[in-house]
Structure formats: structure tokens, C-alpha cells
Amino acid sequence: MELRTLYYFVTVAKEESITRAANDLHITQPTLSRQIKDLESEMGVKLFKRSNHNIHITEEGILLKKRAEELLEMSQKIQDEFKVLDKQVEGNVYIGCGETKGIRIIADIFRRIQVQHPNIHFHVYSGNAEDITSRLDKGLLDFGILIQPANLNKYKALNLPSYDEWGIVVKRDHPLSKKSFIEKKELVHMPLICSRQVLDRSLSNNEFAWWFGDDFDQLNIIATFNLAYNAGLMVKEDVGYAITLDSIIEASVENNLCFIPLKPQLNAKHNIVWRKDHTFSKAAQLFLERAKDVCK
């Protein structure tokens, strides 16, 4: 199996057409069709269902497409790193980050590095902790920015000098919106919409669970989410109240949502993490050195 063949396959999967894919790849349609058939024979499965005018990817094809995209991305990352080995500090740094105010610190590090090294380029991948750690483990990212609670056991980590604050998001016309804070006893029986990450009590640093103490098991979690945008929509549709961080759901008059902090205050710390066995490019090593200066 060659990377070129995988690239052809991914292109066909995206276009859902041999003709369009062949035009994009600047090869003949018979050549591309033969490459796809040979790949199917090699894999021992059908990758596409064919009709008169279109083709549709199979379940087996979806799995191969995901793996192929990861391999192609890693291949490009390796090529980029080796292109600059004998040059001054330049190249690409790949960072995964959730929705957090901590990105402001990372952006400031980016800015200061760019001033001195304009040929360093930063690529930010947005996702939740599960997405980020998966890409870290596969070597697709150099660093991840994780919001606590998160499992740091597999990684080296720095503590960022930033945090988000926990609270609940309600509609602005709700009676609770008049409150300046909300206490644990008020939350116990509310219909709550909560991030799946904070419900993991196996995390040793789950301060969210500690804050509730014995009442944690009494929470009425009616829905969970991994994308805060969806949680905000559920609040608007009166599904319940989103218990979340202050920086990830737009709480504004225009959005008709209001954020109410917890009392006593509960903060979620931020960490920069990287794989213990990760080999850094010069550009990524420079970013790490600057990050260590900030995290002293």
C-alpha cells in the first residue's frame, strides 16, 4: 500500500466521483479506477458502492479514510520537519486546544516567536480533551492544551498561569439570571447539562467532583455534551441548565444567555502537555522553551 494510492482513495472519497477526483488529481479516469480496485483487492473489502452516476463510501471505506488521512497528515509533518533540519529555526508547530481563555497566553507566545522567527508557523487544532490526546498519542500534535480535570499521567506537563471559572448558563429571562452566584444546594435537583469529561470520577484531579462532595451522585444530569455550542442551544430550548466554564459559551444580551459563577468559587486550571517520548523539531523546541518561561 503506497501513500500515493491512499491519497487517491481519500480524494475519491471526498469527491464521491471517479471523474471529479481524476480531474483534481490530473490523471485519467481508467488509471484512477484501477488504483481503487487494486486497493480494494489488497484490503479484501469493498470501499465504495457504485451506481450509474456516483459512488458512495462503505463503512469499511470510512474507517480506511480516517486512517489514511492520519497517515497522510503524519507523512506531510515528517516532510516539513526534514525540509528545515539544516536551516535556521523555522518550520511548523502543531498544537491542540480546547475552548479556553488559556489560548490568549499561547497566542502571546506565538506573537513573540513570530517577531524573531517569521518562518515559524503555528497550526491550532480545536477539539475536546479526547480529540486532543488521541492526536497527541498518534504524533499528529506537538502539544495539547488541556483543561482540568484531565488525565496527565501519560504526558509531561506545564501549569499555565490561567484558569477558567465554573458556573451555570441560563436564559436571561430566567429568575436565576438575577443572582450574582449560585451555591451547591441549589444545583442538586436542577436539570443539568454537563460535559462528559467532568463526570469521570476516576480522574484523581477532578476538582469539579470534589466541590460537590457527597452530593455529586445526587446531581440530575439530564444531558451531556462535548461541544459547548450545542450545550448553549439546549439551554435556549429549555432542556436544562448548562454547568460549564465561563469562557466557552457566549453569555451575552445578544445571545440571550447569562453565566452565573459557583460559590464558593471553583476554577479549572490549564496545562500544556506533550508526549514523554515525543521528538521535537527546532520550532517546537523553541515554543516549549518560551512556554516554560511563561509557566515559571
Residues in CB range of 91: below 8 A, 6 or more apart: 80, 81, 83, 84, 119, 120, 121, 281, 282, 283, 284
> pLDDT category, 264, cuts 50, 70, 90?
very high
User: Domains along the chain?
Assistant: 3-82 (1.10.10.10), 88-161+270-294 (3.40.190.10), 164-267 (3.40.190.10)
Does 97 score more than 70 pLDDT?
Answer: yes
Q: What is the pLDDT of residues 117-167, one digit of tens each?
A: 999 999 999 888 888 999 999 889 999 999 888 888 889 999 999 999 999
Query: In this predicted structure, what is the pLDDT of residue 102?
Result: 86
d(CA 76, CA 72) in angstroms, rounded, equals 6
Q: Distance between CA atoms of 149 and 201, rounded to whole angstroms?
A: 10
